[in-house]
């Protein structure tokens, strides 16, 4: 640990560690500070943040395992494959998930060393700023030191939003972290929150045999999605056995006889009771600025607890930046990464930027939902004239061959210029296909541009071309 750095990053999550690596590549002296061990066996702070340790990566590992189990049990007969006696060993599934996380965490520490980044496993807080240099107190288990830097990035991420009056024990009543460590499949599971996290976690345990009910305060399902996507996803998720009660208000969640009793009111105001074995509270996340000591440097948060920043993630204080979940915008790991790269390049004297209009969103259920750009509702509110083209995977040869022809691609384009404004996909591999759409938005492509690109056959992504053709009512396969 040095006394002074060009750049100090508080937080080693998706935005923080990527910013540190990029700054190291650019020749800056860099320290990245992290205090959270998550579930590290040695109890030492571990890089990767929420995404790697208790979010994106472990949940995708469990989704993969549960999807494979469901395929073996329920979907091999149509391929002429007979199976019998398939069983899930939850402990092994969880251990595999933990192994994936540990491997990636070790990989980040290797990248820190490779790029000459000092990874400081400690808690950091601001103690002052003088002559453009920030001082931070760095406290580990047996030591307290002070370091300084001409530039600082706050990358402390987010934490689960709490449900008032409900105590999370991560044994029976869990947040998203606890939901990743069940050691047996609950017979009855309630998920409070039917957003992205709730749907993904609910899907994992539903596939393994749990009876899953999702409660959500919003009257509409996935209100941030294009209407066509939300309608399709509700139909498909319900068809798989997930139960939904929307527009509810929770009165209480209480332990009862080894399980949980949930009292709530439905959208009509009628009182309801739901008994289950476990509850997952997944009602979103809030910025994490606890213990940062921002008052010591005169930094104030906005009304929602975010650090105010401009389009380049600068705060009102000189050479102090904030990125990721702690600032405005979607709480997405890849958004935080892009901001981290941008700020590192700015600190190094380059002109970094992030195109917030081309950030993709993904829900990793089965099928997946992915989108980038504007929804039809947003364009209608803006009063912007647009054209729409849609193509179903039921007319796609590769999807039919896979035995998974659910969903569609929808392309929205400007009525006059034909500029692509938004692309929305429901498909088993929507997460992999949305990259083409993001590139189209990034390079200001028209639907005609996409339609004239040769797409390999047979592939799922041919549907993007067909939907682009459908914008002008000239799709070839429907």
- In order of their start, the domains of the chain are 3-160+286-348 (3.50.50.60), 173-283 (3.50.50.60), 360-472 (3.30.390.30)
C-beta separation of 337 from 18 below 8 A:
yes
Residues 6 or more apart from 370 whose CB is under 8 A from it?
A: 360, 361, 362, 363, 424, 425, 430, 431, 433, 434
Question: What is the 3-state secondary structure of 251-313?
Answer: EEEEEECCEEEEEEECCCCCEEEEEECEEEECCCEEECCCCCCHHHHCCCCCCCCCCCCCCCC
- The CA dihedral of 290, 202, 328, 330, to the nearest 10 degrees, is 150
Alpha carbons 40 and 360: distance in angstroms, whole number: 31
Binding residues: 60, 156-158, 193-200, 284, 325, 331-334
CA angle at residue 16 from 103 to 154, to 5 degrees? 150
The CA distance from 54 to 36, in Å, is 11
- Give the pLDDT confidence of 307-349 residue by residue, as tens digits: 999 999 999 999 999 999 999 999 999 999 999 999 999 999 9
> For residue 464, is the peptide bond before it cis, meaning its omega torsion is within 30 degrees of 0?
no
CA distance 356 to 97: 31
* Backbone Cα Rg of the chain: 24
- Pick the catalytic residue from 74, 75, 79, 457: 457
Residue with token string 């364009």:
379
Overall average pLDDT of the 423-450 stretch? 98
457 is catalytic: yes
Q: What is the pLDDT of residue 283?
A: 97
Is 155 within 8 Å of 13 (Cβ atoms)? yes
Query: The whole model's pTM is what?
Result: 0.96
Q: Is the separation of the CB atoms in 446 and 413 below 8 Å?
A: yes
Q: How many residues does the structure list for the chain?
A: 478
Helix (H) or strand (E) holding 392: strand 386-392
Can you give the pLDDT at residue 31?
Answer: 98
Structure tokens at 337: 């990464």
Write out the binding residues for NAD(+). Answer: 193-200, 284
Say how far apart CA 247 and CA 250 lie, in whole Å: 10
What percent of the chain stands above pLDDT 70?
A: 100
Query: Residue 1 pLDDT more than 80?
Result: no
Predicted confidence at residue 85, as pLDDT, reads: 84
Computed over every residue of the chain, the mean pLDDT equals: 97
Task: List the binding residues for FAD.
Answer: 60, 156-158, 325, 331-334
CA distance 345 to 28: 10
Report the pLDDT averaged over residues 21-48.
96
Q: Mean pLDDT throughout 237-262?
A: 96
DSSP 162: P
Query: pLDDT category, 141, cuts 50, 70, 90?
Result: confident
Contact 193, 216 (CB under 8 A): yes
Quote the pLDDT of residue 436. Answer: 98
The token pair at 42 is 């040695």
Determine the Cα–Cα distance for residues 400 and 394; give it in Å rounded to an integer: 7
């Amino acid at each position: 640990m040095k006394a002074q750095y060009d750049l100090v990053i508080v937080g080693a999550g998706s935005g923080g560690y990527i910013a540190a690596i990029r700054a190291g590549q650019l020749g800056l002296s860099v320290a990245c500070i992290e205090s959270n061990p998550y579930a590290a066996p040695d109890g030492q702070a571990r890089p990767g943040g929420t995404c790697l340790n208790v979010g994106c990566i472990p949940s995708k590992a469990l989704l993969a395992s549960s999807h494979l189990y469901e395929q073996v049990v329920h979907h091999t007969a149509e391929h002429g494959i007979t199976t019998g006696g398939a069983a899930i060993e939850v402990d092994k599934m969880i251990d595999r998930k933990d192994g994936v996380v540990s491997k990636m965490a070790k990989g980040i520490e290797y990248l820190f060393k490779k790029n000459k980044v000092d990874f400081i496993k400690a808690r950091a807080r601001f103690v002052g700023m003088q002559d453009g240099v920030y001082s931070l107190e760095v406290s580990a288990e047996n030591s307290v030191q002070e370091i300084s830097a001409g530039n600082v990035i706050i990358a402390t991420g987010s934490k689960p939003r709490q449900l008032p009056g409900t105590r999370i024990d991560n044994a029976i009543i869990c947040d998203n972290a606890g939901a990743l460590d069940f050691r047996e499949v609950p017979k009855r599971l309630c998920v409070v929150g039917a957003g992205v996290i709730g749907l993904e976690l609910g899907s994992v345990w539903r596939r393994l045999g749990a009876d899953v009910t999702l409660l959500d305060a919003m009257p509409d399902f996935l209100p941030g999605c294009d209407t066509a996507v939300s309608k399709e996803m509700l139909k498909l998720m319900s068809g798989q056995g997930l139960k939904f009660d929307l527009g509810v208000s929770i009165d209480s969640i209480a332990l009862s006889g080894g399980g949980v009793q949930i009292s709530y009111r439905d959208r009509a105001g009628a009182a309801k009771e739901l008994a289950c074995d476990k509850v997952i509270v997944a009602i979103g996340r809030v910025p994490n600025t606890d213990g940062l000591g921002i008052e010591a440097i005169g930094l104030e948060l906005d009304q929602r607890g975010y650090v105010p920043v401009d389009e380049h993630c600068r705060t009102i204080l000189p050479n102090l930046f904030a990125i990721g979940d702690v600032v405005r915008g979607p709480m997405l790991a890849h958004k935080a990464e892009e901001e981290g790269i941008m700020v590192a390049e700015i600190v190094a004297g380059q002109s970094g930027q992030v195109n917030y209009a081309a950030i993709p969103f993904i829900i990793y259920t089965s099928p997946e939902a992915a989108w980038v750009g504007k929804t039809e509702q947003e364009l209608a509110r803006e009063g912007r004239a647009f054209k729409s083209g849609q193509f179903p995977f039921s007319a796609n040869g590769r999807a039919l061959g896979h035995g998974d022809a659910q969903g569609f691609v929808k392309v929205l384009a400007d009525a006059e210029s034909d500029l692509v404004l938004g692309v929305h996909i429901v498909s088993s591999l929507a997460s992999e296909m949305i990259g083409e759409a993001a590139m189209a938005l990034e390079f200001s492509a028209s639907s005609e541009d996409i339609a004239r690109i040769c797409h390999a056959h047979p592939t799922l992504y041919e549907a993007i071309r067909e939907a682009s053709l459908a914008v002008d009512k000239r799709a070839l396969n429907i």
